[in-house]
Amino acid sequence: MTGRDTVAIVGVGTTSFRELYQARDVQRSAYDLAAQATVAAIEDAGLEKDAIDGLIVARLGSYVRMADMLGLRRPKWCHLLEGAGRMSAVAVQIAAAAIEAGHAETIALIYGNNGRSAGARYGGDGGPSPTGVYDTAFGMTSPGAYVALMYERYREMYGVPDLALAPLAINNRKNAMLNDGAVMQTPLTEEMYGQSRYIAEPLRLYDYCLINDGAVALIVTTTKRAKAMGRPFATISSTAAIGDLTNFYTSPDFFYGSCQAVASKVYSDAGIKRSDVKAAQIYDNFTPTILFSLEGFGFCPQGESWKWVDGGRIELGGELPLNTSGGHTSESYMQGWAMHAEAVRQLRGEAGARQVPDCDVVQYICASPIVASHILRRG
Amino acid sequence: MTMFDTPFAEGCAAGELRLQKCGQCGTYRFPASPICPSCLSSEGAWVAASGRGRVWSWIRMHQRYFKDLPRETPYNLIMVELAEGPRMISALADEKIMPKVGDPVTVTFREVGGEILPYFALDTEGTAA
């Protein structure tokens, strides 16, 4: 999609998800949170505000409001994306493509989410498909339930035991406890996991992403400019995406075919092998999505990922540290955006207690109706 | 216009599961659409489907998302793969049964909350869909 390492991420900004979560009764505006994150990203990049000549806004309803708050009257590139998890990777791809094509040079990517304040439940309503409302007549709703359908089928196909997802939830929690900005700061044991209530059985409470308030901003520019700025940065070595678009979120092959298609490009375009990846940020709206991603991208054979993630391989210090800032189940539900920020921080050596040693290559994966992946590299 | 006032709903009221079938290539589709997703033809008709399928997967919903749903949590939900090809969401009429992926099922209509909906029952005779 773009040239190898020609586009860079030079600034990241995140609100403290923990602080926002702890102040429970405060009603927040997603735009206010987004403004804070964007100012933080601009400061992180060491840029002047007026250097920004492009704006991509996700989940927030209006790029106009964001532009007005930031005093960016005439961005050369403006784009608005829906509030879906698949869009964080797409936002980066659009920014990279726009920069490569010369439409703009320095684009701010902005995401704000006041789901907790707004009482979001991520269930109970339909969508554009006629089956959205139809399904609710049976009491079927929420993305978690549609993912649960995939996981139950996977479980029965491969003889997966109960509690197989626990290592994923526990790894997320361990990493969150090393991240001051993460919502969850207390330990999660297998016993706690197993005793937690079912939401859409077989999925339990700790298999589900959080609902919380927060914002993330990224500043993307040319690698040429990034080098001139003189601060640590990350480059986009490769990025690829393909849809898996059927009426239901429930993919007939658990996104496997689409993951394989993206995997066939993303490693070769970056000039790396899978074993060169030092850490992976894998979208986890629900824990099974991690399993589908690992198998789809060839980290382990189909039907085996539940064994592969057990025993420490995915933890800090293991063969492939996953979701190093705590994932969507323990850091925050920022629909992939906080994972992008974490990828950059790991590559810049700023991850503190959760730093993966010599972290020069990080992969981001999102297995969803748009399967997308980037290989990000230390600049 | 929603699914509840289409030929699909009329079929349910008559105790018949109906699907659109492409007049050009014979592909069945669900949900309803004016065009065929295989050949894009706008020639199509609602026809009686066999009512048979297999459990593609199933879950038990414990979370109470709907205040007014006339089903007690936890309740079962299934994704049926119909013999004709399309998948749809439904539920087993018998709440006590624990299905398995691949179980053959047959449609059975129930009135729930004022709508007549296609529920499914496990085939006890083991007739394949």
Q: Summarize the confidence of residues B23-29 as an average pLDDT.
A: 98
Give the residues of chain A that fall short of pLDDT 50: none
Cα nearest neighbour of A253 on chain B: B56
Interface test with A, best of B12, B57, B80 (most A CBs within 10 A): B57
B39: left (phi over 0), alpha (psi -120 to 50) or beta: alpha
Q: What burial letters (b/e) apply to B61-83, b meaning 16+ CB within 10 Å?
A: bbbebbeebebeebbbbbbbbbb
CATH number of B3-122: 2.40.50.840
Q: Would you state the pLDDT for residue B125? A: 61
> Where in chain A are the domains?
7-119+210-378
For residue A89, CA distances in Å to A11, A14, A48, B45 come to 16, 17, 25, 40
Strands A107-114, A198-201: parallel, antiparallel or unpaired by DSSP?
unpaired
- What is chain B's percent helix, strand, coil content, to nearest 5? 10, 40, 50
Residues of A marked active site are found at: 283, 333
Is A220 within 8 Å of A95 (Cβ atoms)? Answer: yes
**What is the nearest CA distance from A105 to chain B, expressed in angstroms?**
40
State pTM to two decimals.
0.97
Superfamily of domain A7-119+210-378: Thiolase/Chalcone synthase (3.40.47.10)
Alpha carbons A324 and A175: distance in angstroms, whole number: 5
The rounded distance, in Å, linking the Cα atoms of A239 and A364 is: 9
B112 contacts on A by Cβ (under 8 Å): 137-138
CA distances from B98 to A168, A268, B112 (A): 27, 45, 21
pLDDT value at residue A125: 66
Q: What is the pLDDT of residues B72-96, one digit of tens each?
A: 999 999 999 999 999 999 999 998 8
Which one-letter amino acid corresponds to residue A73? R
Domain locations along chain B: 3-122
Rounded to an integer, what distance in angstroms lies between the CA atom of residue A368 and that of residue A249? Answer: 8
In sequence order, the 6+-apart residues with CB closer than 8 A to the CB of A105 are A53, A54, A99, A221, A222, A225
pLDDT value at residue A2: 66
Q: What is the mean pLDDT of residues B23-36?
A: 96
Q: What is the model's pLDDT at position B102? A: 98
**Burial (CB count <10 Å: 0-12, 13-18, 19+), residue B98:** exposed
**ipTM of the complex, rounded to two decimals:** 0.95
Kindly report the average pLDDT of chain B as a whole number. 92
Compute the average pLDDT of residues B31-57. Answer: 96
- Contact residues on chain B for A121, CB-CB shorter than 8 A: 65
pLDDT digits (tens, 9 = 90+) for A312-340: 999 999 999 999 999 999 999 999 999 99
B117 CB neighbours in chain A (<8 A) are 137-138
Interval A106-153: pLDDT, tens: 999 999 999 898 888 777 666 778 898 899 999 999 999 999 999 999
Distance CA B100, CA B103 (A): 6
DSSP state, A275? G
What local confidence, expressed as pLDDT, does residue B5 receive? 61
Residue in the structure block whose two tokens are 């490009």: A265
B39 contacts B22 by C-beta, under 8 angstroms: yes
What is the share, in percent, of chain B residues with pLDDT greater than 70?
92
CA B92 centroid distance within chain? 11
Q: Which residues of B touch A (CB under 8 A)?
A: 2-4, 30-32, 56-63, 65-66, 69, 71, 74-75, 77, 79, 87-91, 100-102, 112-113, 115, 117
Q: Are B5 and B12 contacting, i.e. CB atoms less than 8 angstroms apart?
A: no
